[in-house]
A and B are shown apart, each in its own frame.
Chain A
Amino acid sequence: MMTLPPLEVLRPGSVAEAVEALRAHPGARVLAGGTDLVPNLKYGMYDTRHLVALRGLSKELRYVREEGGLRLGALCTIDQLAENDLLKARTPALAEACGQIAGPQLRRMGTLGGNLCLDTRCVYINQSYFWRSALGFCLKKDGTLCHVVAGGKRCVAAASNDTAPALLALDAGVRLVSPRGERVVPLREFYLPDGLHNTVLQPDELLVEVRIPPAAFGKKQAFMKLRTRAAIDFPALNLAVALETEGAVVKSISLAVGALAARPVLIKGIDDLVGRPADARFAEELGRRAQKQCRPLTNISVDPDWRRDLLPVLVRRLVLRALA
């Protein structure tokens, strides 16, 4: 039995009421599907007393609209997106990513907004208070050191959300609303390399919408995930690619990898591969480049050396699948 700390659940009926509730209760946390927040609260990871539940906003924020690009309300459930025909046709990488998140019940509960704002994960933090107290607390909560990087001063818990690499590769943006107004942030500027708080989201800010540009639609794309079991498990690595081709030649490349450290990474320094034939050799070269920029850590219980060895293999398969 894992008990929750004392909590008060606030149930606003609109976005305006929700951000006002966040402002009025410093330290309050947003409760969407709760599939990440509630287990973490049970682990004693947060000192919050107030939850702002978004269920009352479901009607307002559960839409999939084609407007130029795609606009997805933050409260779309993961299951809804995995099954959505428009997504399957326009952004198959995102639909595939959603289909591979957690298990069936969790996909019905979990939301897109919650997935993008998922807290970073680590074998040393997603544990009961008793477990953590026995080992000694770490930087992320209650402690001063890191069990993953000896002498480390910054938490490197893993970004483990499967929609993040897909949406990064598709060059999506997110619309954020706070009592001060709203802003649209490109996803590639949304994540920060700090496991304690890995997004630019302010405490009183709500992610309300994901925007995917129309340019994403024509791209050859795919998503791939490495995990121990084919269901329930978080990613040990996740990757997404979006390619533009002209004839048999590569015109643009976007490759994102997650489940490494605190933020999902967009592989850089690959512009010189533009103009190459879109073939198996290109896929292999991209895999080699990606491997150099990705360092799997012991923050995930799956062997980091194996994950590192597998990375170029997965990139090659991913690219060939996108091109097929």
Chain B
Amino acid sequence: MQLLHLFVNGEEHAVAAPGQRTLLEALRYDLMLTGSKQGCDKGDCGACTVLVRPRGDSGFRGEPILACITLAADAQDLEITTIEGLAGPLGLDPIQRAFADCGALQCGFCQPGMMLSARALLDKCDKPTLPQIQEALSGNLCRCTGYTKIYEAVEVAAGLRTPSSRAPVQSERAAASDSKAQTVTEIVP
């Protein structure tokens, strides 16, 4: 065990942890910041993405890295931003609002990482092209959305477009379930 000093979302935390503690484990299980997700836990999927910059650097929140393959002991000189630190005093970050407005999520597991990668892109480049967005998010896997709405959300957050209108789905009214139930004949094995 050793005492680690981690700087997360603008606050310093002291954590007693063994040398093999990953940054993701320290965030989730020592600091209870469970927004960063543990997906593959080996560097493939991007669910654990956090933003880091060297301590003392000012300006943007930094570069996206993978917390599951970063050792907490080796992250002590960094300032870390997790999804919990993305919203500011004025409320949700424009990225968060756009993801909600565009319906850019389903199960939501990839979202914390996705939104932080998107934030890092917009911090560097405020009017990205679609290929730039695709490239910036290419280290974040999503198994649900098919990515289209996610790219749209980043464009919306950048002020490049408005959310595509989501007219309510028009469909035939389904028959009341009990009307069907009445017609079901008993199945005799």
Query: A104 contacts B135, CB within 8 Å?
Result: yes
Within 8 A of B (CB), among A14-51: 31, 34-35, 38-39, 42, 51
Minimum Cβ distance to chain B for residue A47 (Å): 14
B77, CB-defined interface residue at 8 Å: yes
A251, CB-defined interface residue at 8 Å: no
Query: A108 contacts B64, CB within 8 Å?
Result: yes
Binary A-proximity of B1-39 (CB < 8 A = 1, otherwise 0): 000000000000000001110100000000000000010
Minimum Cβ distance to chain B for residue A51 (Å): 7
Chain B residues lying within 8 Å of A231, measured Cβ to Cβ, are 135, 138-139
Chain A residues lying within 8 Å of B20, measured Cβ to Cβ, are 3-7
Interface segment out of the listed B67-75, B87-95, B177-185: B67-75
Query: B70 contacts A109, CB within 8 Å?
Result: yes
Minimum Cβ distance to chain A for residue B110 (Å): 13
Chain B residues lying within 8 Å of A79, measured Cβ to Cβ, are 63
Residue of A nearest to B141 (CB): A232
Partner of B71, one of A5, A39, A53, A108: A53
Query: A232 contacts B64, CB within 8 Å?
Result: no
Binary B-proximity of A164-202 (CB < 8 A = 1, otherwise 0): 000000000000000000000000000000000000000
Q: A103-B139, A105-B139 known; A8 and B38 CB under 8 Å?
A: no
B117, CB-defined interface residue at 8 Å: yes
How many B residues touch A, CB cutoff 8 Å?
Answer: 28
A1, CB-defined interface residue at 8 Å: yes
Query: B41 contacts A1, CB within 8 Å?
Result: yes
Partner of A105, one of B41, B42, B66, B74: B66
A106, CB-defined interface residue at 8 Å: yes
Chain B residues lying within 8 Å of A108, measured Cβ to Cβ, are 63-65
Bound Cα distance from A95 to B131, whole angstroms: 19
Bound Cα distance from A50 to B46, whole angstroms: 27
B49, CB-defined interface residue at 8 Å: yes
Minimum Cβ distance to chain A for residue B189 (Å): 40
Q: A42-B42, A109-B70 known; A6 and B139 CB under 8 Å?
A: no
Chain A residues lying within 8 Å of B135, measured Cβ to Cβ, are 104, 231
Bound Cα distance from A31 to B141, whole angstroms: 26
Q: A6-B18, A8-B19 known; A35 and B139 CB under 8 Å?
A: no
Chain B residues lying within 8 Å of A53, measured Cβ to Cβ, are 71, 73-74
Minimum Cβ distance to chain B for residue A59 (Å): 10
Bound Cα distance from A230 to B117, whole angstroms: 18
Bound Cα distance from A8 to B74, whole angstroms: 11
The 8 closest A-B pairs by CB, nearest first: A103-B139, A231-B138, A4-B20, A9-B73, A38-B69, A7-B20, A2-B41, A7-B19
Binding site for B on A (CB under 8 A): 1-9, 11, 31, 34-35, 38-39, 42, 51, 53, 55-56, 79, 102-106, 108-109, 230-232
